[in-house]
Chains A and B, each alone.
Chain A
Amino acid sequence: MAKVEVKKLSICYVKRPIVHEVTFCAEGGQITALVGPNGAGKTTILKAIAGIIRPIKGEIFIDGIPTSGLTVEELVKLGVVYIPEGMSVFAEMSVEENLEVGGYLHRDRLKERIETVFSLLPELGKKRKIPAGMLSGGEQRMVTIGRGLVVGATVLLLDDPFLGLSPLIANRFCEVFQKLRQEGKTLLIAGQHVRRLLKAADKGILIEDGHISLEGTGSELLKNPHLTQVLFGHFNAVSSSVT
């Protein structure tokens, strides 16, 4: 089981500090949820773990191995997979080809894993030969998640996975994530479906302005008045900008 340790992580974008001295640990066989207002730094942290962004300070360990010298490709080979937010599919490729590309570095028995994804998402299976760009937005989102699942990752970094999905499909993905968790995978999920995420999570982390302001079990965080105030707001918060 792969454990992800993040130690004193600091990241800047165009000289502006985005993440400041963030330290936490995501255990194997657990779901860790990253919640926080828009622009808090959740995506940046996930990208740093995936090796897409380099921190200015701090270290990240996967199973005790420091990742600072590793390329994104080497991290994917290690089983660390980042599923970005949004719907970036290869538009001209078919649904099936999109999944094949996802498994490019893990080609051994790839067909089988692709079939597993299709059995999970029969809606996509029906459209496997259709160019992904022709699908609806939500279906494209299913493709991007499927493309990550096909790798058979040990560490899955998911950025706002439920965005654009119907409740039916979101529920199904929740079940998939629970199953992966039982298989001992490490899941780190960021997003704005705060209740859904914290209910599913073993551990919840609240990020505000690039630092951790709360940490606890999912249910503890859900009951926390500070989190309620930050994420759900007060009735008089109208003028505090639509962030």
Chain B
Amino acid sequence: MDKKAIKVPYLLLESVTVERNQREVLRGISFSLERQEIISIIGPNGAGKSTVFDVITGFVKPISGRIIFKGIDITGWDPHRICRLGISRTFQISRPFSSMTALENVVVAIMFGNKRAKRMTDEAIHDRARELLELVGLGHKTNTVSRCLTLSEQRRLEVARAVATDPELLLLDEFAAGLSPKAIDNALKVIERLRQEGLSLLIIDHFLNVTARISDRIIALHEGEIIASGSPTEVLKNKAVAAAYFGGSVDTVEELRE
């Protein structure tokens, strides 16, 4: 990878437009993300935030525009190929294999999505799965059937499954929702650790004090368009963002707590 030292952003979206039910839900959005960068996407409900994740991971195909990851044009690729290239995600509404245990869910994710799985022994795969459950604080629930997990535990299982594929770029959809403030703090430490290990992250979350704390940049979406992007302070002070998203003006990030 080093020999191709061309100046291409790590992830690049170029005028991406997505249609659903004959309605444009993303209208020509463009942005880029660098390696080990954390970008948060904020915006009102229905602005198109999750659709950005859908289009990057191949769950929906854009009607126009391009998506480039590590210099490769992945526009229109199927989700499993994109996953194996190094992009994984969590879903806002988690859907684990409900009759499998937490451990089995993560094992499946490793076996299916992780390129190295073929060279790993069963034991190594299970060890890695346990390690990941430990990482998200589910170490004591490995043998619990996933339908018996609470909603917030299921969401954490979702994160373990996404990390299990050994992604280079991780997309987290509302990872903090339903977590206690203390649990969010711990989750942020996990994210920081993942970043130090070389991961890049795209995050969607409504806890602005969370996103403002960990993001290098914030992108604000409204009705399928980017209305602001820049440092957390810049974006949160932006008047258009305030009007569409908080319904008023705010002076400090502190005011936005919860």
Contact = CB atoms under 8 A, between A and B. Distances in A.
A172 B173 CA distance: 23
12 contacts: A38-B178, A137-B93, A165-B45, A166-B206, A166-B245, A166-B246, A167-B256, A231-B180, A232-B181, A232-B185, A237-B186, A242-B137
B246 A167 contact: yes
Contact of B137 (A134, A164, A232, A241): A241
Interface in A93-142: 123, 130, 134-142
Contacts, number: 126
Interface stretch (B7-15, B96-104, B145-153): B145-153
Contact of B258 (A86, A193, A241, A243): A193
A94 B163 CA distance: 35
Interface residues of A, number: 46
Interface pairs A-B: 9 shortest CB-CB: A242-B137, A138-B45, A233-B182, A137-B92, A168-B247, A242-B186, A136-B46, A196-B258, A241-B137
A134 B174 CA distance: 18
Instruction: Give the bracket for the number of chain B residues in contact with chain A.
Output: 35 or more
Contact of B182 (A87, A138, A171, A230): A230
B179 interface: yes
A160 interface: yes
A195 interface: yes
Interface in A19-55: 36-39, 43
A38 B177 contact: no
A38 B153 contact: yes
A122 to B, nearest CB: 12
B140 to A, nearest CB: 8
B173 to A, nearest CB: 8
A139 B257 contact: no
B44 interface: yes
A194 B150 contact: no
B139 interface: yes
A242 B136 contact: yes
Q: Give chain A's interface secondary structure class.
A: loop
Given A136-B50, A137-B92, A165-B45, A243 B20 contact: no
A138 B46 contact: yes
Given A163-B178, A230-B182, A232-B182, A38 B152 contact: yes
Interface string A161-184: 011111111111000000000000
Interface string B229-258: 000000000000000111100000000111
A217 interface: no
A168 B153 CA distance: 27
A165 B152 CA distance: 16
A242 B156 contact: yes
A175 to B, nearest CB: 11
Contacts of A162: 258
Contacts of A171: 246-247
A192 interface: yes
A168 B44 CA distance: 8
A136 B45 contact: yes
A86 B151 contact: yes
Contacts of A237: 182, 185-186
